[in-house]
Amino acid sequence: MQSLSTDITDSKAAKKGSSAPLKVVTHDQFCMEKVPDPCGIVIFGASGDLTHRKLLPGLYHLFKAKLLPKDFFILGFARSPLTDTTFREEILAKLKTKGETDSPVQKEFLNHIYYRSGQYNDPGAFRTLDGILKEFGEKHGTKGKLLFHIATPPDVYQDVISGLKHAEIIKRTKETDVIIEKPFGHDFDSAVQLNRSLHEALNEKQIYRIDHYLGKETVQNIMMFRFANSIFEPLWNRAHIDHIQITAAETLGVEHRAGYYEKSGNLRDMFQNHMFQLLALIAMEPPLLFDEHHYREEKVKVAKSIRPIPAGKIHDFVVRGQHGRGKWNGREVPAYRQEEGVDPKSQTETFVAMKLFIDNWRWEGVPFYLRSGKRLGHQATEIAVQFKQVPHSMFPFLHSDQFSPNVLTFRIQPDEGISLCFEAKHPGPKFCMATLGLEFNYKDVFHEPSMDAYERLLLDAMQGDPTLFVRQDMIDLSWEFVTSILKEWEKSQPAKFPNYEAGSWGPPEAHQLIEKDGRKWEIL
């Protein structure tokens, strides 16, 4: 096995006057990205925010990095009446806001982009689309391979699938794959119906349910960290780990998403997908191979092992909240009910905290604390693995509970990295103790930006690799658990909304949820 060894000076050490390098050994034969085969990419919902903010900039960055095939085209489809020229101008303007300067590379990229408008429930629009795709396929030499990305509002997902099916644009035997954005349904029953519609037109291998969290560097690195290092995996169990916390905190409110969020709320928006995916990654057993079957199979086993919340005990395990007015970053911010498009008497939750247990050999008795919310103290998405306290102190005047527990933290955003805190002797008196930290930060070490999550996942889909996408049975299991909570909530309205100030860390009940167990939240 050939390796590429590089000395990289740690920026923090350099500031302290140290020149000690961090040795990064890269197995370079695994670092080469495979360029996909020629294909046409069709984006439904092309006039929307996601397309302009993530999808097209992501595809441009792949093109700029020479990771798109030489022969390709991108066709945007939406209801808004735009021309190729106006669509390209909008893309160019968005790239400029992201710091991209006008260049021959941009002009070449834009030459591959087109736009057509139509109604998603109009069969004629899809028959016309079929002819256009054949024309562009011949022009750009894509050999009939197509990737459809459904980035529309959720209520037209089934219209798009039906239109593609009846126009015979997608077939089970044809080289056509479909990426579908979350939410994958509104509850368990609607998710089952959506999957049924998808399977009437496609087989499971053609369906790519995208969760952008799974494309983030640190999320992928959880697998590498756990299963490529022999020092941690033997400790990854109930004998050594006290509990695990997963936090996804946002400082923003609903912004322009009030219409969607009022129907969704935090439980549907974050837990059914992002939070449960992170839970599965941190708790899963080692897969036999890192491939689309074994990797996703182990994640599903975690979902199957989550202990159901006993009927009538929902308040002992789940806390919901809605933010009121408050201050963030020195400025006043409105309550959720004061946001444009929100019902002044809304009962929609903007915060959820819950305690879960996984009933299997590895995790029996280990609590998992999950929380997510809007308008919290600061932005942070982290997984904190807290190890057990030392069982006995051999040091006079120091009781065992005076030692801070070791905590391994995976920072997913905004500052991707991994840290480990441990106890050490502080210079000075004989028993002077300090908590120190080992820190790994992607930017500090590699001095280059990580591939954006959408770029990673779009490239994987073009390569026909569904490993980092979500399988149907995982969707069904997560919705089954979430729907059981929603049904309990329907039986009684929250006693008090809003129940936490913007800029705080959620309602008091969220702190009580973990503090009654003698623990505390890692991020405050």
SS3 for 292?
A: coil
Query: What DSSP character marks residue 430?
Result: T
Query: In angstroms, rounded to a whole number, what is the distance separating the alpha carbons of residues 307 and 328?
Result: 37
Residues 6+ apart with CB under 8 A from 88: 110, 113
> Would strands 380-387 and 241-249 be described as parallel, antiparallel, or unpaired?
antiparallel
Catalytic residue among 112, 274, 323, 426: 274
What are residue 268's phi and psi, to 5 degrees? -70, -40
| Helices 123-140 & 157-166 angle (0-180, nearest 10) | 70
Neighbours of 194 (CB within 10 A): 22
- Stretch (H or E) spanning 489: helix 472-490
Give the Cα separation of 291 and 297 in Å (integer): 10
Contacts of 471 (CB under 8 A, 6+ apart): 204, 209, 296, 300
N-terminal to C-terminal alpha carbon distance within the chain: 45
Count CA atoms within 13 Å of residue 291 on its CB side.
4
Beta bridge partners of 121: none
How many alpha carbons fall within 13 Å on the CB side of residue 466? 20
* DSSP calls for 163-176: HHHHTT-S-TTSSE
Does residue 315 carry a catalytic annotation? no
How would you write 358-374 as a 3-class SS string?
Answer: ECCCCCCCCEEEEEEEC
* Spatial strand order in the sheet of 72-78: 113-117, 72-78, 39-44, 146-150, 176-180, 207-209
Residues 92/93/98/104 CA torsion (nearest 10 deg): 30
Residues 372 and 151: their CA atoms lie apart, in Å, by: 24
**Residues involved in catalysis:** 274
